[in-house]
Amino acid sequence: MRYFPLFYDTQNVNALVVGAGEVAARKIELLLKTEANVSVVAPDISDTVALLAEQGKITLTISPFETEHLDKANLVFVATNDEQLNAEIQQQAKAKGIIVNVVDNPPLCDFITPSIVDRGNITIAMSSGGVAPVLLRYLRQKLEAIIPQNIRLLGDFAEKFRETVKSQLPTVTQRRYFWEWFFDSDVAENVLQGKQEAAETPFLEKLASAAKDDDFSKGQVYLIGAGPGDPELLTFRALRLMQKADVVIFDRLVSPQILDLVRRDAEKIYVGKAMSNHTIPQEQISALLVEKAQQGQRVVRLKGGDPFIFGRGGEELETLVESGIEFQVVPGITAANGAASYAGIPLTHRDHAQSVVFATGHLKDNTINLNWSGLAQPNQTIVFYMGLTGLAIICQKLQEHGLASDTPIALIQQATLQNQQVVTGTLQTILSNPDVATLKPPTLIIVGTVVSMQQQFDWFGNTIEAENQD
C-alpha cells in the first residue's frame, strides 16, 4: 500500500487550484464539498469555473501563475495543460512544504484524490493508487446502488446521542456493542425512514436498560469454520461475526486472505499447530478462549474447514460449557468438500461410490491405528485428514485389507487457493512420484475410484499424475 488512506481536516485550510479548465473544475467542485477556502488562478477560465466565481463560491485570479500565489496555500492542486509548468509548480510547492496534487500525474503527487461515495457526514473513499480509475468508477457504481441515500440520517442520529451514550456506558466495548445493536435494529430503520422522534424513545429505553445490566458487557465465543482457504467460500454469517470480533484466535490452516477480512483493530492471536511443533497445547487454547470471554470480549475462534470435523471444536466447547461461557458455532465448508470440488473429484458417484468416509491420519496418541477393514470397502470414498506423513502406511494397510493396488489416490495441497497442487496415482504408484516429496501440510488424501474422474473434471488446474509402474 503506497498511499496511506486518511481524511484531512479542511477547516481553516486554504486550497489553491492552478488551472481553470474542465479538469480543474472537477477538482474545484470536489473541494467545495469541504470546508476549505478555495482559490483558483489561471489566465483562461472555463464556463464552469466562471459560474462558480460569479456565485461567490471561489476566489478567482485571472492571471498566469506566480510563486507568490502559494504564499497562503496549505493544499495545492495543479491542473494546467502545460506539463512543464505543472512540474515547476510542484517543485515550488514542495520547496515551501505544501502538499500538492498534479492531476493525472501520480509520480508528482504527494496525495491522490480517491473515488468518493458521498452521503453527507458518511463518506466512503476508494483508491487504486492511480492505476485503475475505470475500476474505481465501477466499484463506486456498485456501492452507490446498495448504500441508501439517506444513510446520513443514521450518522446525524449517532452524532446527536454520542455523548449521551458515552455518559451511560463507561467502557469502549460496551459502547461499541450498543451501537452495533442500534445499527442492526428496527430503531435504525425508523431513522432511515425519517422517523427520528419515533426512534428516540426505544433508543433511550434500550440505553437505560443497557446501563443497568450487563447485556453489553458479556463475553461470547464464536466458533467459526473458515473453510478450506478461499475467502469467497466463507458464509455470510462467518464474515459478519468476524467483523464484530474483539479477539481472533486462529491457527495455521486459516489463510492470510481470510484473516484480512477480520475487523482490523481486533487483537489477533496465533495458536497454530504444525506437525511435531505444537505452538500452544489444546488445553491452553481452550483456557485462552475462556479467559478472553470472561474479560467481556467477543472472541472468534477461527478454524480451517469446519470446526466439528477434525477441528477439535467439540473439545473447546466442553471447556466453554464448563465455564458458563456463551457461544455460537458457525459451520464452514469442510476441507474434504472444498479440496474435492476444486480438484474435480466427486466424493460420491452412482457408478463409483455410494458412501464416503472421513478419517484422520494422525490420532491423539500419534498413531494411525484405524479400522482398516472398515475403510477398505468397495464403492466407498475415503478422505484422510493429516495423513501426509503416514502416506506409506495408508497405502500399505488399505492394500493389505482388500483394496486393489490400482485403486486411484489423490493428494491435494493448499486446496482452493491459487497455489493448489494435486498429485494423483494409485496405491501402488503414488509413492514413486517425486512430486509427493515436495508436498507439505495441509495436504488432503482422497482414495477411491472417484479419483479416476479427476482429469475429466479438473477445472481448477495444477494436477500432476504419477506414472504407472508395472
Residues with catalytic function = 251, 273
Residue 120 marked as a ligand binder: no
335 is in an annotated binding site: yes
- Give the residue from 113, 135, 123 showing the smallest Cα distance to 27: 113
DSSP annotation of 435? G
- 453 annotated binding-site participant: no
Residue 304 annotated as binding site: yes
DSSP 369: -
> Coil, strand, or helix at residue 380?
strand
- Please, which residues bridge with residue 411 across strands? 423, 445
What does 247-291 look like in DSSP terms, one character per residue?
EEEE-TTS-HHHHTTS-TTSEEEE--EETTEESS-HHHHHHHHHH
Scanning 151-233, the segments in alpha helix (DSSP H) are: 152-168, 172-184, 186-192, 196-212
HSE (CB half, 13 Å, CA atoms) of 183?
14
Is 107 a known ligand-binding residue?
Answer: no
Q: Is 392 assigned a ligand-binding role in the annotation? A: no
Q: Which residues pair with 447 in a beta bridge?
A: 382, 409
> Within 13 Å of residue 198, how many CA atoms lie on the same side as its CB?
10
Rounded to whole angstroms, the Cα distance separating 370 from 410 reads 20
Neighbouring-strand partners of residue 160: none
**Distance between CA 452 and CA 384 in Å, rounded?**
17
Q: Is 215 annotated as a binding residue?
A: no
Q: Three cell numbers at 394?
A: 495408508
Asked if residue 319 belongs to a known ligand binding site, the reply is no
415 is in an annotated binding site: yes
β-partners of residue 313 are: none
228 is in an annotated binding site: yes
Q: What does each C-alpha distance from 143 to 126, 217, 237, 309 come to in angstroms?
A: 11, 34, 21, 37
d(CA 227, CA 237): 13
Q: For Cα atoms 264, 268, 270, give the angle at the middle one, nearest 5 degrees.
A: 145
* Cα-based distances in Å from 224 to 18, 104, 282, 340: 54, 45, 17, 21
Grid coordinates standing for 29?
467542485
Does 126 carry a binding-site annotation? no
Known binding residues for NAD(+): 22-23, 43-44
Known binding residues for S-adenosyl-L-methionine: 228, 304-306, 309, 334-335, 386, 415
Known binding residues: 22-23, 43-44, 228, 304-306, 309, 334-335, 386, 415
